[in-house]
A and B are shown apart, each in its own frame.
Chain A
């Protein structure tokens, strides 16, 4: 067992974890933040995407022990005073169908807009390449991200 200290969405957690506990399971089962989803569990689908020390990663391809000392954001950390502009844009532009990919999709979108506030369509598509939507609602998702970018420009 290993002692870890992490910060998720501004809250500090301290736990003892088994070395083989995956980060995604830690987030869901120990931190009880179930917005981070387990999809393919092979690193392909991106449903488990979180922001880890400022960068998006797939939390099914990391161990909880590796996160010791890290600062993470999950989908629950997006809304501060009301919904995050990305969340509003996903609602306004109907970018959600079954919703399974949505948390990862939104975190990838946030991460893109942080480094590139006015992305073009190709850049948006590249940014969400690691997030699969099995409802294939990509068109609305891309439009929602464009819409969020436009709104924050104003």
Chain B
């Protein structure tokens, strides 16, 4: 499969990339790891006239800790950081391991060597794994455009399938995740085969209060509907409660509250809803027993 004709441009700075994007508007697309976009172009589901390769912009590839306002220390991750780099990151592993846990279940070695955090978020696949993780983390996404930068909350970022709050002339530059103190995290997914997309993916950030009581919990879900979302109903049912199996199970049954569940060849609506409640329960238990 051969993509339609396009012009390839490789800018050396973010500013240059932005001005090219502003000039060519909807005719242009940025290329990060290419693990989704090149497939779409080969299938001719995407046919940009101008392809702006970000690989020449080294200022978008980093993982660094930032002592934020007050005690809100954060880790800043450049948009071009690959899954492989996240998976190997000692800082993330020590201070905010959910993204590391998530990369273990994304694609395969080759895909992780190319695919980027920024690309996976901007692509907004309704079954993508990173969207669920950054929702659970309450991450913020830095979008830069011709008018400067703005921060978008994870929960405002995903609009619908393959559609985000980004405007055509904006580029994701950075994702900021909190340093987690006293939290336990887990990512689990149910997929037809390893390295497939999720039928259901569940990201959990749990703050126990020493014992088995849940002080706070945030849960990101992917694969279930047209976009990743926070399972607010489950979170509400667990805050302040003892985390015993009955209570978790009851809470987990609310995972699809208010959500239009997808049915397809891999799982019907009913089966997917059932799987979602099972995997929420498992992910919470995994977080509880994890580090």
Contacts and interface: CB of A to CB of B under 8 A. Distances in A.
A133 interface: no
B38 A61 contact: yes
A101 to B, nearest CB: 13
A130 interface: yes
A81 to B, nearest CB: 28
Interface of B: 1-8, 10, 34-35, 38-39, 42, 51, 53, 55, 84, 107-111, 113-114, 194-195
B35 A43 contact: yes
Contacts of A56: 109-110, 113
Q: Which 9 A-B pairs have the closest CB atoms?
A: A130-B108, A19-B8, A129-B108, A55-B113, A130-B110, A20-B3, A58-B110, A61-B38, A56-B110
Given A19-B51, A66-B53, A41 B38 contact: no
Contact of B2 (A20, A126, A129, A130): A20
Interface in A1-29: 2, 19-20, 22
Interface in A99-154: 108, 111, 126-127, 129-131
Nearest to B114: A57
Given A58-B111, A61-B38, 20 more contacts: A19-B8, A20-B2, A20-B4, A20-B5, A42-B39, A43-B111, A46-B110, A55-B113, A56-B109, A58-B110, A61-B35, A62-B114, A63-B8, A65-B8, A65-B10, A65-B53, A66-B53, A108-B109, A129-B194, A129-B195
Contacts of B6: 19-20
Contacts, number: 69
B34 A130 contact: no
A22 B2 CA distance: 8
A61 B10 CA distance: 17
Contacts of A41: 1, 42
A55 B114 CA distance: 9
A49 interface: yes
Interface of A is mostly: mixed
A2 B113 contact: no
A145 to B, nearest CB: 13
A108 to B, nearest CB: 7
B108 A46 contact: yes
Interface in A32-88: 41-43, 46, 49, 55-58, 61-63, 65-66
A21 to B, nearest CB: 8
